[in-house]
A and B are shown apart, each in its own frame.
Chain A
Amino acid sequence: MNGDGQVVLQRVGNTILIPVHGPITDEMLQALRRGLLALLQRAGARGVVFDMSGVEVMDADDFARLRQVAISASLMGATVMLAEMQPGVAAGLVLLDADISWARSARTVERAMEALKGA
């Protein structure tokens, strides 16, 4: 994804890898949702990994909107994981009391891919 709201979706085997970069905007999330759901329908991938390493700031509202994208993907049968979240972002979301119950996460993209192999 970049500042123009364009989204990069990489298909790796049965998994779709999405590098997320800040700042999170509505345009970006709309492009992401459209692209992801279309690709899920076309490719029938079973797993989706959001690579969060490029996100340096994420407030509770951004996280709630990302959750909507993740839930729409899971409604289409994909298992969604977050990977490589930065420590400050993780700590911030907890302090903000953000709803993190939906998120499965892994320290690295590789581990997330590994976990999704059986999905």
Chain B
Amino acid sequence: MKARRLKIESAADAAMASVVARKFAQLAGLSAPSCAAFATAVSELVTNVVRYAGRGWVTLRVLEGDRAGVEAVVQDRGPGIADLSQAMREHVSTGGSLGLGLPGTKRLVDDFEIRSEKGGGTWVRIVKYR
């Protein structure tokens, strides 16, 4: 069980994905706070999928070798993000429940890559190293 793909179609799927993400982080040998950070980042991203795209997937993977850690790829075929640089800017929204929370998600992990275009869905890859 070194990789797993989960469908995200509901808030319950999103909650389950964050639990599985935490299990993968543990499997990868991350510290407890790092496991929490990774699972929280996955939770943020899959919550966006449910809210803005309706459905999508997350693929979780344990990375081995020199750069051991845990990876999540979250993707959807939703409306995409029209202005990615604006979405990545700090304090575009405040109050927690509005906005995509992407800057905060990026702070929780070591690697953060995002591809998106209006109408073309969104693809995000995050990694937390051991």
Contacts and interface: CB of A to CB of B under 8 A. Distances in A.
Q: Bin the interface of chain B by size.
A: 20 to 34
Interface string A60-103: 11111101000000000000000000111101100111110000
B97 interface: yes
Contact of A56 (B36, B94, B107): B36
Interface of B: 11-12, 15-16, 18-19, 21-22, 32-37, 39-40, 43-44, 47, 91, 94-97, 101, 103-105, 107-108
A20 to B, nearest CB: 14
A40 interface: no
Contacts, number: 93
Interface of A: 22-26, 56-65, 67, 86-89, 91-92, 95-99
Given A86-B36, A88-B33, A88-B36, A96 B105 contact: yes
Given A24-B15, A97-B103, A57 B97 contact: no
28 contacts: A23-B16, A23-B19, A24-B15, A25-B12, A56-B22, A57-B22, A57-B36, A57-B43, A59-B101, A60-B44, A61-B43, A61-B101, A63-B96, A64-B96, A86-B32, A86-B36, A87-B32, A88-B37, A88-B40, A91-B37, A95-B37, A95-B108, A96-B96, A96-B105, A96-B108, A97-B103, A97-B104, A98-B96
